Structure 1
Amino acid sequence: MQPLRRLVLAAAVAAACAPAAHAALTENLTTNVTAMALGNAVTADPPGIGSVHFNPAGLARLEGDSETIHNWAASIRTSASFRQPAGFDVGGWTDDPLNGKSTGPVRQIMYVPGYGMPGWRLPGVAVPGLGMAWNKKGSPWTFATDSYMSQAMSVDRTTDVNDPGQYQGRQIQIQRLVYLSPSVGYKYSDTLRFGAAVPIAHAAFVVDTNMRFPNELLGVFGKLQQGWCPENGGNIIDTFGFGVCGGGKDGMVSPFKKAANMRLEMTAPVDPTLNLGVLWEPKPWFALGAVYQGGSKTHYTGNYQFSADPMLRNFVRGLNSSLLGPIAGAVLGFPSSIPAVQHGNMSATIPFPYHVQVGIKLRPVQMVQLNVDASYANWNEWNALTFQFDQSIKLLEVARLYGIPDSSKLTIPRGYKSLVNLGYGLQLYPHERVTLRFGYEPRKTSIPSDKVDLIAPLPNTKLLSAGFNLKLSKTMDLSVTGSYMTGKFSTPANTDCNMNCNTFLNVIYNPYAGLDVNADIHVRYFGFELTKRF
């Protein structure tokens, strides 16, 4: 085929793929320097030892022994603002103190395997990695291993104690660090290769959040207290009644008061998955690739701590100090008391979704190469996340009134969905020792617009990347990449029941009930990779 015809074919393939839907959460954001530069569209042109993740069949293209040292640094910045719409009312309360407020500084943290969460608050995080590959001259087999971050989300809002984002994550750390990945590539013929890899990961899941519960029922009850209870907090009629005033001033219920803090910290130290890949290169200018990255029902174990503020503790104490209050509390399933701090051990099974990616490589002329990939990640497994505690949580016993029957479990709705994502990569070869790389990835989120929140502030985003490869010598290459991803969302009041629904019983979990929420996210990435062949 003539170069011009190949160029037309490349353009046609790109145009045909463009209208499809895309989906992405945290996958492939911090995995490989070369892949990032090409919009993660590398399945048909796997990036050296990075083939372990993107398509292990690419390992069979390596000759001799080699190693790669790679490092990346990334910063995540996310912000949100809150506004009361006209007619704002939560059970008679019409002035939310978060109205007109915006979230403050955001930093990053890092979970260190074997150590835990250090006290660092970083402007960004940097993660080094090492990969190695072995191929005996003339052998169709190549063996390899690599270390890399396959999933990452990090937000720390603890700098400002009054940050309104504290009610959906003072700290959020979700990471999956592959520290060993025994892999093999097999060259079946000059045009067909196969590969398999077993990434073994350390997974960490940390959520630390303050909690408040604005909803209609709590608001109505708070107004009832205001009308019934004297300022000193009690009266003789109430003492012989249900004790709604017995908690004193601190026991007066408000839908806008901070009620508690919850910290969950869990890990899965050894969690293997399976990657399978195939690569077909019938022509120097054309290739097809496909990879299946297996998922896992990752079993986490760790610890929790619930710290209750005076509001609910004093209210329950006053209820149980009256004549009829204990009877009413028993009917409603309320605890006899709420400790200031309750902690223990916990577990959860959180799916790591499987991922399928297919790609095409076209090199219509010697100086130009175009990659286009389509990927699918099974995020609909995150419909709800359930956490199992080693005892009944007294704070959750109060929530029995809201239809939560088992206070030893906490189920957080997610409602994510699975879609298809596209990535585009362009490589230019202006010189035999220099390769220029450009990537574009329109990442339509797997979080529906009525499920997005500040725990996972990931709306539709656009990822733009640029990088280069420089051949330092016959045996050594240097790759450098810079990327920028940005997106924003606007959620009107009462449209998202993971964040701002104002309904009678919806308490888990809508801390911004009735408020309009506008938010954005910006991710900046820089990475380099040094490859040495022996």
Structure 2
Amino acid sequence: MKKSLLGCILLCLASPGHAQLAQNLTVGSAKALSLANAVTADTPGIDSIHYNPAGLYKIKGRQYQLKVIAGQFTISGTVERSDRYRQLMDQFGYDDAADPVQEGESATSDVSVMLPFFGLTEIPVLVAPLGGAAVEWNGGQFVMGTSVFAPMIVGYKRSENGPLRYQGNELGLTHLTYFSPTVAFPINDQLTFGMGLHFNYTGVGIDLDFRLPNAILVGVDSLSGVLCQLPELSEVVNLCEGDLGPFTDIGNIQVEVENYLNPAFNLGLLWEPNDWLAVGMVYQSGASKKLQGDFKITYGEDWLGFFGGLNGTVIGDATTGLLALPKGVAVEEGEASLEFTVPQHVALGVSVALTPDWKLNTDLKWTDTAQWDQFKLEFDTAPEFLPVLSFLAPEQVSRSSLAFPRGYESVWSWALGVEHRYNDRLALRFGYEDRGNSIPTDKADYLAPFGEAYLVGAGFAYAPGSNSLLEVGVGMLVSENSAADNTSSNANDYHQLIYNPYAGVNLKTDVRAYLIELSYQARF
């Protein structure tokens, strides 16, 4: 299921370490990046198709756009064992070596993205052929255009057998707009309306190791230790051929699901009552579809040995009828699906020309990330471990499904941008965006290592001729999150079985991104 692709097409995003791209960072709009996405009322040319389709009406004649993105990204997570963790380890007789997750900081080691036709793919460079075109029709009665861009790309690969592997050896999430027919037209001399239909590819791929450090499995481990001291009971019950405890590697799960036709729409308004004020609004519908693909589960040796020994005993045969115990299949493969929603988004922006040479943009935004309440995987053929887990955690697990609770929140954010027109050819831009935090502290984890975040941008626009425009934007994104021991139900809770593989750990995450984006727009 893993494939290697040595990148090859024109535009690339180089990352010597590792990468994670988030919402609006990979659209490729140099103007939007330099103004920290405060462009709802000060629309960015052909990129208005995404940011505010009403702004497309500003295009004159026939224009095309080419874009290049480059960046360096750092994603790290810190594991710190809590005092309560150490007390429980002593209480139940475990030494430090029993838990393979060691303390310290770990960082992602490479880039991994979900690509159409290739799936979850490790690449040394991220290939991103982006661009678009727009045409003015009927003497300026309306403008039509389309563009290729990626509103959201998330991807990373962690080092093999690293401490954070239980929440992702590898992750790729891609939402790519490959065709976006958009039209913009005036309602009157001051008000413009735009609408676009977006055809998207959406894909999710994940590779993670699975374990359940929970009191239930501590009890199973303790019972096994007692029974293994009584070999005369081996024909009645045999729990000694493997191990099933809080630190047992149940197995490795790989899932790739995708949908090549995931439509959405954008609506935009732009009101310009005079030459110094503009007010813009955009609604992005989001997109919701069932993603389909395949899964592969490779079970750990201790898991296989434990149930291999139990099967065929008196207790094992009796329990199998009740719980459908695993039969000891080492590898399972089949089809899987995931109902996945790209959240809807609303933005309101104001652009004010303070003087002929200085412009101030402000944006207020809302993203409905509360729709990410859980990610529920459905399997066409029930994997062997699900019936056992469904008995222990029926709210999250059935015989054919596994739900990973998320519990994210819808979030408000804001952005400020300043543009200084240095002369007739050159404009300088600066921006700051407070991106908020859709992942509260009690839902923080290593799988989605984002927290409170901000973006700082700068750049310029240069017109080499009357019919062309070169734009450059640079940006820095910083995001941090943390959760003390037993405070996050997505990572380190002692009591919830699904899914808290880091129970007892104080966790911290840190994301740093450094971006440069270039775009060239000209008439044809």
**TM-score clears 0.5:** yes
Partner of 1:209: 208
SS at match of 1:109: strand
Contact 1:493 1:501 in 2 (8 A): yes
Question: Post-superposition shift, 1:265?
Answer: 0.2
Question: Post-superposition shift, 1:336?
Answer: 4.5
Partner of 2:231: 235
Question: Post-superposition shift, 1:128?
Answer: 2.4
Are 2:143 and 1:153 equivalent residues in the alignment?
A: no
Contact 2:248 2:303 in 1 (8 A): no
Q: TM-score, normalised by structure 2?
A: 0.91
User: Deviation digits for residues 418-471 of structure 1, max 9, x if unmatched?
Assistant: 121101111111111111111111111111111121111110011111111111
Question: What amino acid sits opposite 2:255 in the alignment?
Answer: L
Residues 1:391 and 1:192: Cα distance change in structure 2 (over 3 Å): same
Partner of 1:139: 140
User: Deviation digits for residues 305-361 of structure 1, max 9, x if unmatched?
Assistant: 111111121111211121222213433x14251311111111121111111111000
Separation in structure 2 between the aligned mates of residue 227 and residue 525 of structure 1, nearest angstrom: 57
Partner of 2:258: 267
Separation in structure 1 between the aligned mates of residue 147 and residue 75 of structure 2, nearest angstrom: 31
The CA RMSD over aligned residues, in Å, is 1.7
Once structures 1 and 2 are overlaid, which stretch shifts more, 266-275 or 253-262? 253-262
Question: Post-superposition shift, 1:87?
Answer: 3.0
- Unpaired segments of 5 or more residues in structure 1? 1-24
Partner of 1:191: 190
Partner of 1:112: 115
Separation in structure 1 between the aligned mates of residue 177 and residue 311 of structure 2, nearest angstrom: 52
Contact 1:74 1:126 in 2 (8 A): no
Contact 1:253 1:312 in 2 (8 A): yes
Contact 1:445 1:461 in 2 (8 A): yes
Query: 1:25-40 maps to which residues of 2 (within 5 A)?
Result: 26-31=22-27, 32-40=29-37
Separation in structure 1 between the aligned mates of residue 478 and residue 70 of structure 2, nearest angstrom: 17
Separation in structure 2 between the aligned mates of residue 111 and residue 53 of structure 1, nearest angstrom: 21
User: Deviation digits for residues 44-75 of structure 1, max 9, x if unmatched?
Assistant: 11100011011111111111110000121233
Question: Post-superposition shift, 1:391?
Answer: 1.1
Question: What amino acid sits opposite 2:238 in the alignment?
Answer: G
SS at match of 2:213: coil
SS at match of 2:295: strand
Question: Post-superposition shift, 1:392?
Answer: 1.1
Partner of 1:221: 220
User: Deviation digits for residues 480-532 of structure 1, max 9, x if unmatched?
Assistant: 111111122221110001001112xx221111111111221112211100001
Partner of 2:100: 97
SS at match of 1:425: strand
Q: TM-score, normalised by structure 1?
A: 0.89
Which of these residues, 308, 318, 323, is aligned with residue 317 of structure 1? 308
Contact 2:228 2:238 in 1 (8 A): no
Are 2:358 and 1:358 equivalent residues in the alignment?
A: no
Contact 1:60 1:142 in 2 (8 A): yes
Separation in structure 1 between the aligned mates of residue 62 and residue 68 of structure 2, nearest angstrom: 21
SS at match of 1:270: coil
Which of these residues, 282, 300, 325, is aligned with residue 273 of structure 2? 282
Question: What amino acid sits opposite 2:164 in the alignment?
Answer: G
Which of these residues, 61, 73, 82, is aligned with residue 79 of structure 2? 82
Partner of 1:482: 474
Residues 1:101 and 1:339: Cα distance change in structure 2 (over 3 Å): farther
Partner of 1:392: 382
Contact 2:80 2:104 in 1 (8 A): yes
Query: 1:489-504 maps to which residues of 2 (within 5 A)?
Result: 489-503=481-495
Question: Post-superposition shift, 1:126?
Answer: 4.4
Question: Post-superposition shift, 1:138?
Answer: 2.7
Partner of 1:403: 393
Partner of 2:465: 473
Once structures 1 and 2 are overlaid, which stretch shifts more, 85-94 or 289-298? 85-94
Separation in structure 1 between the aligned mates of residue 256 and residue 100 of structure 2, nearest angstrom: 30
Percent same amino acid among aligned pairs? 29
Separation in structure 1 between the aligned mates of residue 95 and residue 430 of structure 2, nearest angstrom: 51
Partner of 2:423: 431
Separation in structure 1 between the aligned mates of residue 305 and residue 335 of structure 2, nearest angstrom: 26
Residues 1:126 and 1:73: Cα distance change in structure 2 (over 3 Å): farther
Question: Post-superposition shift, 1:296?
Answer: 2.0
Question: What amino acid sits opposite 2:438 in the alignment?
Answer: S
Are 2:438 and 1:443 equivalent residues in the alignment?
A: no
Separation in structure 2 between the aligned mates of residue 326 and residue 76 of structure 1, nearest angstrom: 52
User: Deviation digits for residues 77-99 of structure 1, max 9, x if unmatched?
Assistant: 21112122113226824633324
Contact 1:76 1:154 in 2 (8 A): no
Contact 1:79 1:104 in 2 (8 A): yes
Number of equivalenced pairs? 495
Contact 1:243 1:323 in 2 (8 A): no
Separation in structure 2 between the aligned mates of residue 174 and residue 118 of structure 1, nearest angstrom: 11
Separation in structure 1 between the aligned mates of residue 337 and residue 108 of structure 2, nearest angstrom: 31
User: Deviation digits for residues 94-153 of structure 1, max 9, x if unmatched?
Assistant: 633324233144321233322333442x3x534121210101473221010011011111
Contact 1:319 1:329 in 2 (8 A): no
Separation in structure 2 between the aligned mates of residue 444 and residue 103 of structure 1, nearest angstrom: 25
User: Deviation digits for residues 270-290 of structure 1, max 9, x if unmatched?
Assistant: 111110111000111111000
Contact 1:34 1:479 in 2 (8 A): yes
SS at match of 1:36: helix
SS at match of 1:324: helix
Partner of 2:407: 415
Question: Post-superposition shift, 1:220?
Answer: 2.2
Are 2:338 and 1:348 equivalent residues in the alignment?
A: yes
Separation in structure 2 between the aligned mates of residue 106 and residue 367 of structure 1, nearest angstrom: 45
Which of these residues, 348, 364, 368, is aligned with residue 378 of structure 1? 368
